[in-house]
Amino acid sequence: MQHTALADQTLELHDPHSFVTKYIWSQDHKVIAIQYGLTAVFVGLVALVLSALMRLQLGFPDTFDFITPGAYLQFVTMHGMIMVIYLLTALLLGGFGNYLIPLMVGARDMVFPYMNMLSYWMYLLSVIILLASFFVPGGPTGAGWTLYPPQAILQGTPGYDWGIILMLVSLAVFIIAFTMGGLNYVTTVLQARTRGMTLMRMPLTIWGIFTATVLGLLAFPALLVSAIMMLLDKTIGTSFFMPALVSLGENLDYTGGSPVLFQHLFWFFGHPEVYIVALPAFGMVSDVLACHARKNIFGYRMMVWAIVAIGGLSFVVWAHHMYVSGMHPAFGFFFATTTLIIAVPTAIKVYNWVLTLWQGNIHLRVPMLFAIGFIFTFIHGGLTGLFLGNVTIDLPLSDTYFVVAHFHMVMGVSPIMVLFAAIYHWYPLITGRMLNDALGKAHFWLTFLGTYAIYLPMHYLGFLGVPRRYFAMGSTDFIPESALSLNASITVSALIVGASQLIFLFNVFWSLRHGEKAPHNPWGATSLEWQTPDVPPKHGNWGPELPTVYRWAYDFSVPGAERDFIAQNEPPDAAHPTSGELGGAS
């Protein structure tokens, strides 16, 4: 293929001239990334406060008058939805995707910066609509983050009127925002790589973000369509999802719709969504592990194919969330089988992470601590997933705290661990300052151990049959007294973990001014983002000339090389021919 179409010079860069165009209506992917990041962290804190309120109620029932059963359901719903969509998806793709893609593939910006900017503002709008639902009559929806009809839009569910409408509209706006950003990310990775950056030389971070974005572009349509249909059911009285119903002694006007259709659509989106947050995390953690273990990632090619395979398989497993909704046994068998097949590429990745650490020159800096923490939490969450993937095991466990524990470990805590690893790892590049090490270590240990104190006991609660989304357990024979003490202890741990995030926030803001000045490439990383002429990189990223790439991103501790890493843009050295060879041995 001849690369003539778009040479370096033809790219128009809109150089910002005033404060407003530089930091507010900015088209620079780095500024947009930070805008995405700050907004996502802000809503994430809202969700964290909501989880603390829920835990207070569960740990100390009858103590807090303002937490009514209805309010509890609203907290659950908003907490879950914010965490999954508005925090994790936005921060991983809108935040890190935006920041890292152009830098890591050697581009000056995203291919369509203007659309990229619009993406952020649409995202902000969706967040505002979402938060507005706290202030409308009836409050936010309490339907659970799965928003299952018919209950989501029927009297009796909190926020069945305004709350659910705002939620659906906000989701639709979010999807538009995501699409505008996502088209940019995919096209940039495919078309705007710098000279020498072949697909198989891209850092795994980019592979993870790229595949996750493709998943998003194909999975969000299902959510969009179901949101439109539910809005119509709610506002003008169509019956897509609504069967004939008697409510409060009255026959409703609905007739003949299919609630199970919604479940299929929701999970056709919902399961890939799990991987939309997991795959970028997989990618980033691979790079952090390799860099701080000073070793090449084990099995790069296998890692790439595992990411792609997981992405593909994630579209054919969705009904494992619907075993209790009832389905033909053959379908149960099919979905259980595909679910277990996904475990194969996933396990390959875990082995490869561990083998990357094997005999590495491990530096236990804060990013590395979080990355290793991720391996632990992910293995735990992944193993319980194997249980839940089987129909017969899932039936009794469905809708219990076992499920809550499972998905928090695998898609809550694990991506969060990687996000922390990523923030500690890339903060010096983004701000030009180092984060405080002691505070970082305290933050890690409190978060990591606290996480286990919260979620391990939940597995036992699940075995006991404690149901999910319950305001209080009441007096039930099969739930022993001791479950209450367990709940109190979980709550205390959750409050400690929540509070320890303040250490992190303090560290981030304090270091902005008082942190040690970051040296160029403080971790000795090989990938391109650390090789920019300025730190933090300036608008346009690369100065006058784009870098040229000569090798993959994992040339660490190459025998015979003068340093323990060789950057991707270092030309092959005639004096050390081995380095060149190893560079290709992916």
Partner 1 sequence: MDTGSHDDSYTAPGVRGMVADWAADKQAFDMPWGKLMMWIFLLSDTFIFSIFLTSYMNVRLSATDSWPNASEVFALEIFGHHLPLILIAIMTFVLITSSGTMAMAVNFAYRRDRRKTVWLMAATALLGASFVGMQAFEWTKLIEDGVRPWGNPWGAAQFGSAFFMITGFHGLHVSAGVIYLAIVARKVARGDYEQKGYAIVEIAGLYWHFVDLVWVFIFAFFYLW
Q: Where on the chain is the footprint of partner 1 (CB under 8 A)? A: 1-3, 5-6, 111-112, 179, 183-184, 186-187, 190-201, 217-218, 220-222, 224-225, 228-229, 232, 236-240, 244, 253, 255-258, 261, 265, 268, 548-551, 572, 580-581, 583-584, 586
Candidate list 31, 33, 76, 92; residue touching ligand HEM; CB under 6 A: 76
State which of positions 267-286 bind Cu ion (CB under 5 A): 271
CA atoms of 78 and 135, how far apart (whole Å): 13
Question: With CB cut-offs between 5 and 8 Å by kind, which of partner 1, Cu ion, ligand HEM, none does residue 84 bind?
Answer: ligand HEM
Q: For residue 486, give the nearest of 511, 454, 520, 449 by alpha carbon.
A: 454
Q: Which does 257 bind (CB under 5 to 8 A by kind): partner 1, ligand HEM, Cu ion, none?
A: partner 1
Q: Of partner 1, Cu ion, ligand HEM, none, which one sits near residue 6, judging by CB under 5 to 8 A according to partner kind?
A: partner 1
Residue 504 to residue 510: CA distance in whole angstroms:
10
Contact assessment for residue 213 and residue 129, using Cβ atoms and an 8 Å cutoff: no
Task: Please identify, using beta-carbon distances, which residue of 53 and 316 lies nearer to Cu ion.
Answer: 316
Please identify, using beta-carbon distances, which residue of 183 and 274 lies nearer to partner 1. Answer: 183
Smallest gap from residue 585 Cβ to partner 1 (A)? 8
Residue 568 beta carbon to partner 1: minimum distance, rounded to whole angstroms:
11
Considering only the stretches 29-37, 408-416, 422-430, 563-571, report the one whose residues sit in contact with ligand HEM under the rule CB under 6 A: 408-416
What minimum distance in Å lies between the beta carbon of 280 and ligand HEM? 14
The neighbour count for residue 227, using CB atoms within 10 Å, is: 23
Site string for ligand HEM, 424-443 (x = CB under 6 A): --------------------
**Displacement of CA 227 from its chain's centroid (Å):** 21
Neighbours of 142 (CB within 10 A): 26
Up-side HSE of residue 462: CA atoms within 13 Å toward CB? 24
User: Smallest distance, Å, CB 202 to partner 1?
Assistant: 9
**DSSP letter string, 123-152:** HHHHHHHHHHTTSSTT-S--S-TT--TTGG
Which one of residues 412, 440, 457, 583 is an interface residue with ligand HEM (CB under 6 A)? 412
Closest distance between ligand HEM and the C-beta of residue 455, in Å? 9
Task: List beta partners, residue 246.
Answer: 251
* Helices and strands in the chain, H and E counts: 17, 2
CA atoms within 13 A on the CB side of 18: 4
Least separation in angstroms between CB 273 and Cu ion? 9
Token pair 């805008």 is at which residue? 35
Tell me the per-residue interface mask from 5 to 44 with ligand HEM, x by CB under 6 A, - otherwise: ----------------------------------------
User: What is the Cα–Cα distance from 424 to 431, expressed in whole angstroms?
Assistant: 11
Name the one range near ligand HEM by CB under 6 A: 15-23, 183-191, 405-413, 570-578.
405-413
Tell me if 412 sits within 8 A of 83, measured CB to CB: yes
Comparing CB distances to partner 1, the nearer of 258 and 390 is 258
Give the single-character DSSP code of 25.
S
469 binds, among partner 1, ligand HEM, Cu ion, none (CB under 5 to 8 A by kind): ligand HEM
CA distance 347 to 162: 44
Partner that binds at residue 83, options ligand HEM, partner 1, Cu ion, none, CB closer than 5 to 8 Å by kind: ligand HEM
In the bound state with partner 1, the residue whose beta carbon lies nearer, of 378 and 552, is 552
Q: Which residues on neighbouring strands pair with residue 250, listed in sequence order?
A: 247
Could you tell which of ligand HEM, partner 1, Cu ion, none binds residue 54, using a CB distance below 5 to 8 A set by kind?
A: ligand HEM
| 80, interface contact from Cu ion, ligand HEM, partner 1, none, CB < 5-8 Å by kind | ligand HEM
Contact between 100 and 92 (Cβ < 8 Å): no
Smaller CB separation from partner 1, 34 or 265: 265
Backbone angles phi, psi at 522, to 5 degrees: -60, -30
The answer to whether the beta carbons of residues 452 and 395 sit under 8 Å apart is: no
Task: State phi, psi for 556 to the nearest 5 degrees.
Answer: -100, 145
| Binding partner at 383 among Cu ion, partner 1, ligand HEM, none, C-beta below 5 to 8 Å by kind | none
Report which residue's Cβ sits closest to ligand HEM: 80
> In the structure encoding, which two tokens stand for residue 271, read together?
């399961």
Cβ proximity to Cu ion: between 142 and 280 the closer is: 280
Q: Count CB neighbours of 148 within 10 A.
A: 18
Q: What sign results for the dihedral spanned by CA atoms 87, 92, 94, 95?
A: positive
Residue 247: phi, psi to the nearest 5? -130, 130
d(CA 550, CA 563): 17
Under the criterion CB under 5 A, does residue 108 sit at the interface with Cu ion? Answer: no
Q: Please name which of 223, 240, 233 lies closest in space to residue 170, comparing C-alpha atoms.
A: 223
Binder of residue 508, out of Cu ion, ligand HEM, partner 1, none (CB less than 5 to 8 A by kind): none
Tell me how many residues contact ligand HEM (CB under 6 A): 23
The residue among 178 and 353 lying less far from partner 1, judged by its C-beta, is 178
Token pair recorded at residue 559: 């025998």
Closer residue to partner 1 (CB): 258 or 489: 258
Three-class DSSP category at 571: coil
- Report the nearest approach of ligand HEM to the CB of residue 88 (Å): 6
CA distance 85 to 95: 13
Burial of 420 (0-12, 13-18, 19+ CB in 10 A): buried
Please give the residues from 77 up to 116 whose contact with ligand HEM meets the rule CB under 6 A.
77, 79-80, 83-84, 88
Name residues contacting ligand HEM, limited to 479-508 (CB under 6 A). 494, 497-498
Token pair for 17: 């001239």
Residue from the set 144, 196, 243, 465 that interacts with ligand HEM by CB under 6 A: 144
Tell me the residue number closest to Cu ion, measured at CB: 271
Residues that bind Cu ion (CB under 5 A): 271
Binding footprint of ligand HEM on the chain (CB under 6 A): 51, 54-55, 76-77, 79-80, 83-84, 88, 144-145, 404, 408, 411-412, 416, 454, 468-469, 494, 497-498
